[in-house]
Amino acid sequence: MYSEVIHTKINGGIKMQTPICPTCGCSLVRLGITKENAVIRKHRGMEYSFCCDGCATAFQENAEALLEETSGLVVCPSCLAEKSVNQTVVLNFRDEKLYFCRCPHCITVFQEDPEYYIKRLVGDIEFDGIFSKGLGCCS
């Protein structure tokens, strides 16, 4: 399910899923880990993508606690920062709520090229730097 867009209800909104290592909480997209080179392990019939073998091993030792710890994480579509959902700003986009880090620049660049950022968030576009068109943070 690495490249599928899955929606999960969170606090009355919708969280667009992106691959997050359930052990360390890192965005696999931000780390440049594609679905082809992610470490995959099954737990209770579901596949999980990990950033490395070390995280996959640690997950097997304490899966339920790690899933609980990372369950409230979202990834900003623009800068790919991992945040707790209660530390985000919500943007309504196509009848869905998207969660952004608190940087106003991230919402601005998202609105300029939303298709790019959504496709990148779910891993359908290769990671090529934080922002599209060579933009830097807060530029």
pLDDT tens-digit map of 29-61: 889 898 889 999 999 999 999 999 999 999 999
The span from the CA of 59 to the CA of 11, in Å, is: 26
The span from the CA of 27 to the CA of 9, in Å, is: 19
What SS3 class is residue 4?
coil
Query: Average pLDDT, whole number, for the chain?
Result: 82
pLDDT above 90 covers a percentage of the chain that reads 51
Here the tokens at position 123 are: 């891993």
pLDDT of residue 3: 29
pLDDT of residue 130: 65
